[in-house]
């Protein structure tokens, strides 16, 4: 079970911002056409096979708009559901539920899209010991939620923020002068907050050798061919953690994992996962 990523106040602010963006000063159409005391019953339905993520937020959006709404959660976050499955039932004030509908669905569809795509990637490598990692490639404001959804899909969360891990990349190395100088500077700094030790991005096997010799804890093997990854695994597996990254797709991730690397990071699971299709159907 993956815990909610937002504190109570963070959740309240997130929902307020989302509703302010969508509703503005009021739902003109519902106010104009729906009697104030009219109720409705509805069911939230999956239109395709999905992994659910963000249900707790969708529920809070509905409750924010209609605190008296009766809500029955049928599928919680992390559940896999097939097309046609009822995920939630709600009964309440028609105006208020219609106002909440789009915001609740937008969030649920986006996060479930991340969880669903992540699960597909994970299944491609589950026969190996390799773990799928997410990245910081997220929509601004959705970092915690995107990584929450990725974890529900089966990925391991990588750095949440820049203060969460020490990762020396090519631009850092170019500014400092060399991999060994960058690692030396990193070791002189307080690295206790780093969840990934001193990680170094390497584009070549020569850079990997330099990083290991200088004392790196982990290598980010960027855009390497599978034969290069296999060589890195043969030389350094067990000495340092090995992470493959760069242009990984569903058609390539299986063979990359089979080289023996410890991790594969994939930006697209949080950066460009398609929203899934979920609808709110009104019941008689």
Between CA 147 and CA 270 the distance in angstroms is: 7
137 catalytic per annotation: yes
144 catalytic per annotation: no
Q: What is the pLDDT of residues 91-144, one digit of tens each?
A: 999 999 999 999 999 999 999 999 999 999 999 999 999 999 999 999 999 999
Whether residue 250 contacts residue 237, with contact meaning beta carbons closer than 8 Å, is answered with: no
The encoded tokens of residue 191 equal 């690295």
Query: For the domain 127-271, what is the CATH code?
Result: 3.20.20.70
Return the residue matching tokens 């339905």: 45
Mean pLDDT of the chain: 95
Q: What is the pLDDT of residues 12-28, one digit of tens each?
A: 999 999 999 999 999 99
- Give the CA-trace dihedral at 244, 246, 247, 248, to 10 degrees: 20
210 catalytic per annotation: no
284 pLDDT above the threshold of 80: no
- Residue of 47, 169, 187, 225 marked catalytic: 169
Q: Options 3.40.630.10, 3.90.1170.20, 3.90.76.10, 3.20.20.450; which CATH number does 8-121+273-283 get?
A: 3.90.1170.20
Q: Span 203-219, mean pLDDT?
A: 96
184 pLDDT above the threshold of 70: yes
77 catalytic per annotation: no
237 pLDDT above the threshold of 70: yes
Between CA 93 and CA 71 the distance in angstroms is: 12
- Residue of 27, 77, 101, 201 marked catalytic: 201
Residue-level length of the chain = 284
Q: Span 38-62, mean pLDDT?
A: 97
39 pLDDT above the threshold of 60: yes
Domain ranges of the chain: 8-121+273-283, 127-271
Q: Span 153-168, mean pLDDT?
A: 94
The encoded tokens of residue 143 equal 């970092």
Element holding 255 (H helix, E strand): helix 253-257
102 catalytic per annotation: yes
- Residue of 123, 137, 143, 235 marked catalytic: 137
- Residue of 27, 66, 124, 222 marked catalytic: 222
Whether residue 78 contacts residue 113, with contact meaning beta carbons closer than 8 Å, is answered with: no
The encoded tokens of residue 239 equal 């000495």
């Amino acid at each position: 079970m993956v815990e909610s990523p937002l504190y109570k106040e963070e959740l309240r602010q997130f929902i307020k911002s989302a509703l302010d963006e969508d509703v503005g000063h009021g739902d003109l159409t519902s106010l104009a056409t729906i009697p104030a005391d009219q109720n409705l019953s509805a069911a939230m339905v999956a239109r395709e096979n999905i992994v659910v993520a963000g249900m707790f937020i969708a529920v809070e959006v509905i409750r924010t708009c209609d605190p008296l709404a009766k809500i029955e959660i049928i599928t919680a976050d992390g559940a896999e559901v097939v097309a046609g499955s009822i995920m939630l039932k709600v009964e309440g004030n028609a105006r208020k539920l219609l106002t909440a509908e789009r915001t609740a669905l937008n969030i649920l569809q986006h996060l479930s899209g991340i969880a669903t795509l992540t699960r597909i990637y994970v299944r491609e490598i589950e026969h190996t010991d390799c773990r799928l990692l997410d990245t910081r490639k997220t929509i601004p404001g959705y970092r915690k939620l995107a990584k929450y959804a990725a974890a529900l899909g089966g990925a391991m969360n990588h750095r949440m923020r820049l203060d969460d891990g020490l990762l020396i990349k090519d631009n850092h190395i170019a500014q400092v002068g060399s991999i060994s100088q960058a690692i030396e500077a990193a070791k002189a700094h307080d690295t206790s907050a780093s969840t990934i030790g001193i990680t170094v991005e390497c584009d070549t096997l020569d850079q990997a050798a330099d990083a290991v010799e200088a004392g790196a804890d982990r290598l980010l093997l960027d855009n390497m061919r599978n034969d290069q990854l296999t060589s890195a695994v043969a030389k350094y597996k067990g000495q340092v953690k090995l992470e493959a990254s760069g242009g990984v797709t569903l058609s390539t991730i299986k063979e990359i994992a089979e080289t023996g690397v410890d991790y594969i990071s994939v930006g697209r699971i949080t950066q460009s996962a398609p929203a899934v299709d979920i609808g709110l159907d009104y019941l008689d």
